[in-house]
Structure 1
Amino acid sequence: MAIPSKYKESITPLAIKFQRAFSFFPRRICLISGAPRSGTTALCEWLGHQEGVSAIPESRILVSVHRFMEEVQRFRNLEKDSQLIFGMARGLVYDYYSSSRILMTKSLLVDKEPLEPIAFPSKEYEQFIVNTRLLFPEAKILLAIRDPLSTIWSMQARTWGESLTSAGARRFTLEEYAENWSSCAELVARHQFEPNTYIVQFGRLVNDPMNESKRIFEFLHIRNGIPFQPRPTHSVGFTKEDQANILRIVKPQLELLASKGISEL
């Protein structure tokens, strides 16, 4: 029998207080990352509907702690105690997650952080992945990659900055979007064979959802999962000139990915 919403409102704070008191927390963590608009949202929503999984998309806590870790490593007197401080930071992340959602019945927690210039104004995309690994060495990381034209078309269709407290929404140039995609593609190529890392080629997930879903479920140790169900996507409407300019910028990265067998974008 379903619990009426008015009772859920009173149960939730008690459950959260209980799980924090007894440190109930999912045994496993997964970070979904990659270029913005590369399928990270679809991945997070899909995995969040699997049994035993809780998804907290773009919590920003990992980004914030990453910035803190960068400052720790910048100062000599803090850097020498970095392992102790990082352990404290790990506890902060756990505490934030357990304050945000009832997690007692979950075995896997999924967070999503696209590598975009609003969240990472210094464009330290790779260092964010490195610091996440330092924080949670056993975490699983899904790096999504999608074809550049579809990704950049989706990027330019929205404004950025809504998650910030004070900055106004802004847009970027097509060249900046292409450079962002290129940086993320290079990161994917470098981390392809890193432990606990899986490269999600969005084209393969859409074109062969049954088999690719199985591979992702095996990577994340999800049993009896519901396969990914592709949704219609918007057509790319670039002019021939803009399309040619984008492809010129991203050509080296496309060739790099292809040389590593990453071509089903």
Structure 2
Amino acid sequence: MRAEAEQALQRGDIHEALSLWSLITAGNASPDDLLTHAGILQHVYRSAEAAPLWDRLLAHPDATPDQWLMAAKRFFQDGRFAACARFTARAWQAVPDSPDIAVLHASALERCGELEEAARVASALLAAHPLHPRLVRQLAHLERREGRFETARERLERQLQHHTSHDDWRLRYELAAIYDRLGGFTEAMRELELAKRQIARESAALRPEWRAMTTRQWEVTRGITPERLARWQREAPQPPRRICLMAGFPRSGTTLMEKVLTAHPGCIGTDESGVLATQFRTPIVFGARSTAEVLVELDGYDEASLAAGRDVYFHCTADVLGEEPGDRLLLEKDPLLTPDLALPLRLFPEARILMPLRDPRDVLVSFYFTIVPLAPNSVAAASLADSALYLTEVMRHWLLWRERLDPARWMESRYEDLLAHPEARTRELAAFLGLDWRPEMLAHHQAADARPIGTPTYDDVSKPLYTRSLGRWRNYLPWLEPHLETLRPVLDAFGWT
């Protein structure tokens, strides 16, 4: 039966595969069976059905720490940090001297806001494994969050000087962030360049896929004519849904704006759930043989197929959120949604579009500094030249969209204005989104029901509004100058001088 289930999965028959797995795990299932079945259910956004299987795996007498660790990694990748911590705690209890388990446990605890416990876990294992690079990096990261910059710097430099490893690039990213806070801008760029040099081969392998991706996205955007948009508007399914698409570019203030808006009880955010990418963009845009095929498919949707697509989106999104949006405004936030706006605008012609903007020079520096998993949509950070190119290419999508969309449907909001005039700007945002203004929008970091943030800026948005990062680019002007001409179209279009 397991072989049949695997075959069904390989041919894409998820219903048949899950029916078979339900029979397999109905009785005294093995830990591997529980892990596989629960993983498939979670992959297809059926977490409620997966939950009892995860619980059985956690309590299974024959389960191994490796199996609990596999489950934990899955939860961490999905941004479910509390669930991850349950499994890492169980694995660590079984193998208390494992630094690999401890570092993931500490990371999950940190993402849940339990900084003291995370530091305790990392410190306890570092005493027994003083050369473990990821433990060193995790403890230094926690020290940086606490403002103990010199302690963190000394820890990382000592490790890098005396104990090299394949994880050095992660340590150097952390050290660069620390030097930035200490005012050592030359040293920060040196560490970044060394880090990126260490992963240059992996980055180079992903670059062709990145370029193919951006080419297809630009062809699709150019193909969405005003006439197409008008037709899609006429074909809008009923009833309309309360949804806002928040695009932008990484490090342009999208996560901060989401936190500000979702401090309002009438708004709930997706925090880059990935639903639009996995369920729609990847199969429709990148799975097509040509751009013409993409446009034909988008045009070919009838009322029933659009309704079905909307249902899929809301089902998957509710699964990620752990709750239904209900009557609240749903904020679909993804800073790389900008080059893929065609798809959500086809699904939700009634959607409003919110475009966070920030000085492109500050965005460029922040993007270059941010450590993210290597992927086609992040590999541009391998160099300042590619970072500038990517930023400019993404924003040209928005420059075209705002010419074609009804001005009443979209709003630009500048990061700098939000920091300088928080009440005035949040009142404007609330009015645009049809929300009454609430004073708690100015204290987003104090929200009692705040969920853990899965994006790399989770630490920044856990604090009150601050202006430290404004004009940060001036500290790195000698490195930026060769790339400012690439940014010129964006600087000029939005009026930054």
Q: TM-score, normalised by structure 2?
A: 0.41
Q: Distance between the aligned counterparts of 1:79 and 1:26, measured in 2? A: 19
Match of 1:223 in 2: 436
Q: Distance between the aligned counterparts of 2:438 and 2:344, measured in 1? A: 26
2:332 equivalent among 111, 114, 117? 111
Match of 1:21 in 2: none
Post-superposition shift, 1:108? 0.8
Post-superposition shift, 1:246? 2.8
CA contact (8 A) 2:242 2:327 kept: no
Match of 2:369 in 1: 157
Post-superposition shift, 1:192? 3.3
2:244 equivalent among 30, 52, 70? 30
1:246 to 2:483 alignment? yes
Distance change in 2, residues 1:134/1:105 (3 Å) = closer
Q: Distance between the aligned counterparts of 1:186 and 1:77, measured in 2? A: 24
In the TM superposition, what whole-angstrom CA distance separates every residue of 1:151-187 from its partner, at most 9, and x where no partner exists?
111111122337x7xx9x8542111111122123323
Distance change in 2, residues 1:189/1:208 (3 Å) = farther
Q: Distance between the aligned counterparts of 2:489 and 2:275, measured in 1? A: 33
Q: Which amino acid aligns with 1:132?
A: P
1:197 to 2:432 alignment? no
Distance change in 2, residues 1:233/1:106 (3 Å) = farther
Q: Distance between the aligned counterparts of 1:198 and 1:90, measured in 2? A: 24
Q: Distance between the aligned counterparts of 2:360 and 2:429, measured in 1? A: 22
How many residues are paired up?
226
Match of 2:354 in 1: 142
Higher relative contact order (CA 8 A, sep 6+): 1
Distance change in 2, residues 1:75/1:45 (3 Å) = closer
Q: Which amino acid aligns with 1:140?
A: R
Q: Distance between the aligned counterparts of 1:154 and 1:75, measured in 2? A: 33
Post-superposition shift, 1:49? 1.3
Deviates more, 1:195-204 or 1:74-83: 74-83
Distance change in 2, residues 1:26/1:87 (3 Å) = closer
CA contact (8 A) 1:26 1:103 kept: no
Match of 1:66 in 2: 281
SS in 2 for 1:178: helix
1:206 equivalent among 395, 419, 433? 419
Distance change in 2, residues 1:77/1:154 (3 Å) = closer
Distance change in 2, residues 1:213/1:192 (3 Å) = farther
Matches within 5 A, 1:75-90: 81-83=300-302, 84-90=304-310
Q: Distance between the aligned counterparts of 1:231 and 1:250, measured in 2? A: 26
SS in 1 for 2:252: coil
In the TM superposition, what whole-angstrom CA distance separates every residue of 1:114-154 from its partner, at most 9, and x where no partner exists?
128xxxxxxxx53x112111111111211111111211111
Match of 1:6 in 2: none
CA contact (8 A) 1:35 1:180 kept: no
CA contact (8 A) 1:34 1:114 kept: yes
Post-superposition shift, 1:40? 0.5
Post-superposition shift, 1:26? 10
Percent identity, aligned pairs only?
A: 19
Match of 2:323 in 1: 102
The structure carrying a bigger helix percent of its residues is 2
Match of 1:19 in 2: none
Post-superposition shift, 1:76? 9.8
Q: TM-score, normalised by structure 1?
A: 0.73
Unaligned runs of at least 5 residues, structure 2: 1-46, 50-238, 443-463
Match of 2:104 in 1: none
Distance change in 2, residues 1:245/1:86 (3 Å) = farther
Distance change in 2, residues 1:174/1:80 (3 Å) = closer
Q: Which amino acid aligns with 1:67?
A: T
Post-superposition shift, 1:36? 0.7
Q: Distance between the aligned counterparts of 2:248 and 2:424, measured in 1? A: 21
Match of 2:391 in 1: 181
Match of 1:257 in 2: 494
